[in-house]
Every structure is written in C-alpha cells, then in structure tokens.
Chain A
Amino acid sequence: MMRRRLAIGLLAVSWSVSAQDIDLSSLDKLASRAKSANRVSLDRDQVVGALSMLSGSDLESKKNLDGLKRLAQNLSGVEVRSFEFEKKGQYSDSDLAGIRAQLAKLKNWSKIIDSKEDGERSEIFMSSVEGHRGLAIIAAEETEVSVVILKGVASLKEMGNLGGIMGLPHMSLGPVKKNE
C-alpha cells in the first residue's frame, strides 16, 4: 500500500514537472553546425534579477522599457535555443521532432498556430493550465532555427502589445479565428 502511494506520488510529481518543462537538450547538437548559436536559460529568480537591471541603456525609449517590464513581470522562466547557419540544409525537420513530440504529448500545451510558407514554418503553442501558463515558439527558416519558451506568458496579446516599439512592426495576432 505504502509502495503504491509512493509510486502514485512520484507519478504526480513527474507529471507536474513534465507539464512545465520541455527538454531542449536535443537541440544542442545544432550548435556545432551553426555559424552562431544563442542559448538562454533563466529561472524566476534570474528573471527578477534581470528585470532590476533594465535601465533602458540599450533600448530606444522609456516606452520600450515599460512595455518590456510589463511583459517580463509575469515571466517565471525563459528558455531559448537559437541557431543561425551558413547555408540552407544544415539542419533538418527531424532535428525538431523531439521538441514537437514533447509538446504534442504534454496535456497542458496546445498548438494554436502552424504557419508554413516557402519551406519555412512557425508553430506557436500555448499552455493554459493555471500556474503553468506559457508560450512556446518553434520557428524554422532556411538558415535559422529558434525555439523560445516563455513561461508565464498568458496570451499572444501580451506579445502583440510589444508591437510598434523596439523597431518591430505592430502585430495583429491575438485571438485567432478558425481557418475556413
């Protein structure tokens, strides 16, 4: 009985952990093929520390800083793996299969946009479970692939509110409509 309770407890813990965390280590091998690679991994404490340093010294205006701070206040963690390659064909769709499989398997993550054009693809996922909200993006372009996970972002609208500042075009993504 005790052993069964322990097993169920462990399963619950592992489920709640796996519901939050997506393992991006399968992407590490791309670094050796890339001409530039960026890796970001920040937990909640590091995000809070980083927020305290935001001074606008490298941002164009206070408006940028305020918008960024508003978004970042909700962040409980940030993961980025971004790779740029010299020429196309240096990574393949199968390199992203592991990440996609994890996101498909996790109950709290749902794909809300899958957009393809000219061999490029971006997929946007959201996690809507209270306490484990988040946004995940897989962007696969000819010579660049990026995976971004922002834990704590509750909706695309929060990201869309950054449009028009920081030199980015204003985005109209927000509540999505079902494709006809």
Chain B
Amino acid sequence: MLGRAKAGDSAAFGWLVGEHQSMVFSITVYFFRNRAIAEEIAQDVFLDLYRNLAGIENTAHLLAWLRRNATNRCIDRSRRKSYRAEVPVGADLHPVSWDSSPDVLAYAQVQRELAALPAEQRVMIILRYGEGMMPGEIAEALELPVNTVKSRLHRALGALRSKLELKKVQLT
C-alpha cells in the first residue's frame, strides 16, 4: 500500500490514513486532552505525510515518521498557543464506555495529570506507555540521545506518581 500511495494512488493513501489514524490521534488527544485540537493536528500530520511520501522507505520508517511528526507538532503547538482541555473526566478518552468505575476514574485522573506535565515529558510518557515503545526506540524515533529520553521519563514518572498519590489514585 505504501508503494502504491507513493506512486500517487490516493485510495492507497486513504488506506494508510485509516490504518494509522488511531495511533496519531491517540498521541495528539492524550497530549492535549482536547479533541478539536487533537483532530486538527492529526490531520496536519497526514497532510505532511502526503507531501513527504517520497522520502518514506518502508512501514517501519512510516511509523517512526508519524510518531516523530505528531510529537513535534504537539510540542510546537503547545509552545505557541495556550489551550484548554475540553473533555470532561473520562468521557471521551477511553475506549470503554463511560461509567463511574474506579478504573475509568483513575484513567481519567492519569490523563489529567499527564496533560499538566511539561510537553517534553508528556510526549515521553505517551510514547512509552501509549505506544509501548522502549527508551531506545523513543530515542531513535525522536532523534534524541537515549539518556535524555530516560531522564525525561524518570522525571515524568516521579511527578505523576506524587500527584496521583496525593489524589489517592490506587497504584497497586
């Protein structure tokens, strides 16, 4: 499909969008906790992909490219403009249907505290736990030294832990 999209087949490109939109949207929506901004940025990521298809070598490269582009756009946007998280607690950001079970409330609390972290730390947490990437993979995708990734992750986790414990979110 990537080859066909690169050759100009717009249906193939549409397929690529469909295949990877969840990943890109998840990164942006957990970063901003604002669906409108998340959707806009996710769209920009794919438009940028369309402009740069020729440089994408294979599927692995595509995934890394999408993650890097999405995270860079999130960080850029967060620096340029203030925004407010619109989404009420738990309502939209979790795949299970809304209920008031302790798990869903805890997830919502985590997402809220995550959104309060500095942008560079937030991105690390989303890639590590949302995308399941190891620090080495994050470092490669974002073209950062692996020690930088590890130290940001460490600080982010420390900040999240103390905030969540303060709010009595069950961590075990």
- Seen from chain A, the residues whose Cβ lies within 8 Å of a Cβ on chain B are 118-119
Interface size class of B (residues with CB under 8 A): under 10
A-contact 0/1 string along B79-104, CB 8 Å cutoff: 01100000000000000000000000
Q: How many A-B residue pairs have CB under 8 A?
A: 4
Give Cα distance in the complex from A118 to B37, angstroms: 12
Chain A nearest CB from B40 CB (Å) reads: 10
Closest to B80 in A: A118
CB distance from A84 to the nearest CB of B (A): 10
Nearest neighbor of B51 in chain A, beta-carbon distance? A143
Q: How far is the CA of A118 from the CA of B77 in the complex (A)?
A: 8
> How far in angstroms is the closest Cβ of chain A from B76?
9
A-B contact pairs, 4 of them (CB 8 A): A118-B77, A118-B80, A118-B81, A119-B80
Q: Once the chains are docked, how many angstroms separate the CA of A90 from the CA of B81? A: 23
Bound together, the chains give a CA A119 to CA B81 distance in angstroms of 11
Nearest-neighbour CB distance to chain A for B52, whole angstroms, equals 11
Q: How many Å lie between the Cα of A119 and that of B77 in the bound state?
A: 11
Question: Could you say which residues of chain A place their CB within 8 Å of the CB of B81?
Answer: 118
B-side contacts of A119, CB under 8 Å:
80
Residues of A within 8 A of B77 (CB): 118
Q: Which 4 A-B pairs have the closest CB atoms?
A: A118-B80, A118-B81, A119-B80, A118-B77
Closest residue of chain A to B40, judged by CB? A118
CB distance from A167 to the nearest CB of B (A): 12
Q: Chain B: which residue is nearest A84 at the CB level? A: B51
Smallest CB separation, A60 vs chain B (Å): 14
The residue of chain B having its C-beta at the shortest distance from the C-beta of A118 within the complex is: B80
CB neighbours (8 Å) of A118 from chain B are 77, 80-81
